[in-house]
Amino acid sequence: QRARTRIMRCFKDGSVPMLFATDVAARGLDVKDVTHVINFDFPRSKGKAGIEDFVHRIGRTGRAGAKGEAITFFTKDNRGHARELVGLLKRAKQEVPTDLEAMVS
């Protein structure tokens, strides 16, 4: 826990510019000015829980009217979430990648 606290302090003060975290480590993080979130893999939770976990992850960026970018590596193994993810992106007026759209068709 001490190491996590030290790393988080360094990330928050900018002396560590990047943070790699698991879902467990990401819970409860409140860091201002995060401009990018990169998901190496889509949450493995089933059904709506996967989308909720995804929204929780990307909610770290672009807070309080600031712009941010979230990038997620989404594969055929994740296609069970494709329809709901496309709907989420469209409702948020975000770009829907053609490969993702094709998984729904």
Cα angle for residues 32, 95, 14 (degrees, 5° grid): 20
Structurally, the chain folds into a number of domains equal to 2
Average pLDDT per consecutive 10 residues, the chain (105 residues; last block may be shorter): 88 90 72 86 86 85 80 92 95 94 92
Residue 95: predicted pLDDT: 93
Residue 26: predicted pLDDT: 64
Q: What is the largest CA-CA distance in the chain?
A: 48
In this structure, the answer to whether residues 24 and 64 fall within a common structural domain is no
Contact partners, residue 60, CB within 8 Å, separation at least 6: 26, 29, 31, 34, 37
In this structure, the answer to whether residues 62 and 96 fall within a common structural domain is yes
H or E segment and range at residue 91: helix 82-91
In this structure, the answer to whether residues 39 and 27 fall within a common structural domain is no
In this structure, the answer to whether residues 86 and 58 fall within a common structural domain is yes
The DSSP secondary-structure symbol of 62 reads: S
What is the signed CA dihedral for 44, 19, 29, 82, rounded to 10 degrees? -30
Range of the domain at 42: 33-104
